[in-house]
Amino acid sequence: MIDIQTRLRDLHRPDLLTRAARFAVDDYRRTRDLPRLLPGTPPLRPAPALVELLEVERGLNEDRKAGAVGYSLSRHVLALAAIMAEARDLAATRPPST
């Protein structure tokens, strides 16, 4: 199984999509946005949320590449922004490496 850091490092998306997500990350609110992306009870900690978000984003990216009729660009930007924010929060909870 690939760890979260490797999956994040290997995540490459088109520049325009990435730039839009970088702008959206400042507006990201976990309590508002995470339930939109992860129906049910969202995970309380960033690591499990990231695992689920990466799967949601993978599906959105497959839809984008396939030109699926139901593809939502705004949902994809929100998913990427959530991944960025949760990754930032995860990094903040990790002890600094020496």
Structure confidence at residue 40 (pLDDT): 87
Q: Yes or no: say if 90 and 43 are a contact pair by the CB < 8 Å rule.
A: no
The C-alpha atoms of residue 68 and residue 56 are separated, in whole angstroms, by 15
What range defines the domain where residue 60 resides?
Answer: 4-91
Q: Tell me: the pLDDT tens digits for 16-26?
A: 999 999 999 99
The C-alpha atoms of residue 65 and residue 44 are separated, in whole angstroms, by 31
Average pLDDT over residues 30-46: 89
Query: Does 98 reside within a domain?
Result: no
Query: Does 55 reside within a domain?
Result: yes
Number of domains in the chain: 1
Predicted confidence (pLDDT) at residue 15 exceeds the cutoff of 90? yes
Query: Does 97 reside within a domain?
Result: no
The C-alpha atoms of residue 95 and residue 16 are separated, in whole angstroms, by 33
Share of the chain above pLDDT 70, in %: 93
Residue whose C-alpha is closest to residue 56's, from 45, 91, 40? 40
Q: Yes or no: say if 87 and 46 are a contact pair by the CB < 8 Å rule.
A: yes
Query: Does 96 reside within a domain?
Result: no
The C-alpha atoms of residue 50 and residue 84 are separated, in whole angstroms, by 9
